[in-house]
Each structure stands twice: as structure tokens, then as C-alpha cells.
Amino acid sequence: MAYNNPENFLIAGNDEHGINPATPGKRTPVMPYINRSIYENEFNNAAKNCFLADSLRIGFFVLDVKPNRQDLSVSQRVNIVNRISPTLVFTFAYNAAGDGQSFSNANGIETFYSPINQFADSSKQLATEVYNEALKATGLNGRGVKTLDVAMLSAVRVPAGLIEAGFMTNFEEAKLMLDPDYQKAIGQSATKGVCEVLNVLYTPIEKDIFPTLKVGSQGKYVRYLQFKLKTQGYNITSVDGIFGNNTQNAVIAFQQANNLTADGIVGPKTWNNINLLKPQETVLKKGSIGSYVGYLQQKLYSKLYPVGVIDGIFGANTERAVKEFQQENGLTTDGIVGAKTWAKVLDISTSRPFPQN
């Protein structure tokens, strides 16, 4: 079968609502144990970034419709899409039910398209393909592919789809909003759906072969690297696929933060810390630093174990959270994250239950 070249397409990603300031009302009820609400955009933005990163890895060019964390009016976002005219646009959102102030039983994933979009058939196919991939990836309840005439679906002059990836007002699905693996699963499902629509070969990240990169390298893996570093806060001025001095400096900073040889060359160890594919092979304890620590912190926090600041530094707060997690899951309470603790951390069923008292 002949596949299309992904570099022939520009894929746009959009996330609903904002943070700093947060869009009013778009949040979960107060979550027990961590004693705060989770804002909808905390999920939406992270899932969108996973989608754009995965799309870059495949070889697409990408457009971030709303790169800043503040909310942006729908008309502004529609204008951006219509001015640049990408191949298609996909939007990430999270649902709510009832008054939004309390938890309910409403649950599941649904996707949307607009029948009045001028590319309604392609939009329906996009929503359907992403929906099918998301159900396979997550195992959540499927609520169907539905129609919706909001402007990001109807007023854009390109095929458009939207996913509501769960319910903020469902306690179990609210926890998933902060889970980095759930964010990645939804983002990658969207990329797979796009590949189906555009007849582009999708290679799972676990089977991808990441080349060694250094100054002078060019191409899709450089763009992917630059985007990943930029979204983690490193000083990347342009996601242009050209490995120059700016990218080298960002790589060195990343390597230093991960206790790696800071040579500015992206080989297997640096890729491993960027992609976080095999956390169970890494032993973490108090004093550890780097991406795997940040990933651990985020996983524990999504399970409602307070870890303090998610900063990639395994300090006293993280150790305390690890010990609480180990104790509540029948593990040796030593604060050391080895294979057995990782197995429980990676298990979606080991999050804290809703308090009974």
C-alpha cells in the first residue's frame, strides 16, 4: 500500500479554555487529598501538546492554534485557522455534567464534528477515526460520534474534529486529567486518527528508531526534539528542524538537568529521558533528579498523592508521597522507586478512592 508523505500536510491543534487566569467554571469539583480543583485546560493543553509532538515525530508540520495558556476567543482562533489554512484542525476538551460543582456518574469519551462545515464528510471521518483510536487506547466508555455546531467545528474552512476526553465531574475521570499517560494516550489517538484520514503511515513511538542528533542535523526528529524541549520550558526560539547553536544549548541544559553527559549530542540516553518509555528500568530515590522524577511526581499527583512542586527533584515531599503510596498499595515502605513500585505507579487502578467519611 502506498502511503502519503506526512510532510505534505500541516496539522493544527487547538485546546479549549485557558489558565492564568483560568476560564471561569471550567474545572473539577475540589479534589480530595490534594484539596484543589483541576482546571480543564490542564488536560486540554497537555493533550494538545502530546498530539502536536506525536504529529511532528511522524513527519507532519504543525500549527499550534493557541500556544499561550491564556484563553483566546473562538473568533480569534477561527481567524487564525482560516488565515493559515492548515490541512485540518483538531480540538481537545473535557466534559462536565450537572451543576459542575459536584461529582456525578456521567462518564466516557465522545467526539464531534459539524455537518455544516464545508468539509463535513472529512470532518466526520476525522471525528470517527479519533474516537475509535481513543476507545482502543483508553478502554473508557464510548458515548459516540456526535454533531455540534460550535464555531471551531463549523466556521473553520478546513476539516475539523473535537474530542471530549472524559468528564471533569466524574471522580475517576477527573483524576485522569493530570495523568501524563492518559494525556499522551489521547494525544497519540488523535495523531493515529489523522494518519488514517490522510493515509499516512503511523509508527508507534515504542517502535520508532530515533537517530543521533547534533549540530547540523535537520528534519522531523529535530523538529520533534525542539518541540519537546520547548514545551518543557527550555529556550528554543524556533521549531524549524535545524539543529543549530540554540538547540544545542537547550539540549545541554536538558542533559544537565537529567544528570547526563552534557555534550549537546542527542543519543540513546538523552532520547530515553525525553521520551520516558521505560520508567520501570530506572530506580529513583531521594536525591534523584530529572525527567523521570518529574514523571513520577505527576503520576503520583494524578493519583491524589501530594508531592509538592512537580520540579523533577526527588526531595522530602516526593519521598513522603512515595512512602504513602507504597504503604497503601502493600509495598515495602522504603521511599525507593524500583520495579515493584513502578508497576503499581503505572497501574491505573492504584489511585486513591473517594473518601468514605
In this structure, the answer to whether residues 330 and 183 fall within a common structural domain is no
Mean pLDDT of the chain: 97
SS3 category, 130: helix
Tell me, letter by letter, the H, E, C secondary structure of 181-208.
HHHHHHHHHHHHHHHHHHCCCCCCHHHC
In this structure, the answer to whether residues 174 and 251 fall within a common structural domain is no
| pLDDT exceeds 80 at position 357 | no
**271 inside domain:** yes
Residue-wise pLDDT tens digits, 57-109: 999 999 999 999 999 999 999 999 999 999 999 999 999 998 878 999 999 99
| pLDDT exceeds 80 at position 233 | yes
Which of 154, 162, 192 is closest to 44 using CA atoms? 162
Mean pLDDT of 120-134: 98
Share of the chain above pLDDT 90, in %: 96
Indicate the number of domains in the chain: 3
Identify the band that residue 180 occupies on the pLDDT scale cut at 50, 70 and 90. Answer: very high
| pLDDT exceeds 90 at position 356 | no
Please report the pLDDT score of residue 223 as a whole number: 98
Could you tell me which residues come within 8 angstroms of residue 73 by beta carbon, excluding any fewer than 6 positions away?
none
In this structure, the answer to whether residues 71 and 133 fall within a common structural domain is yes
In this structure, the answer to whether residues 191 and 255 fall within a common structural domain is no
CA 21, chain centre distance (Å): 21
Overall pTM surpassing 0.85 (yes/no):
yes
Give the residue numbers spanning the domain of 21: 6-198
SS3 category, 271: helix
Q: Give the integer Cα–Cα distance in Å for 348 and 342.
A: 12
**205 inside domain:** no
| pLDDT exceeds 80 at position 268 | yes
In this structure, the answer to whether residues 305 and 233 fall within a common structural domain is no
Q: Give the integer Cα–Cα distance in Å for 33 and 144.
A: 33
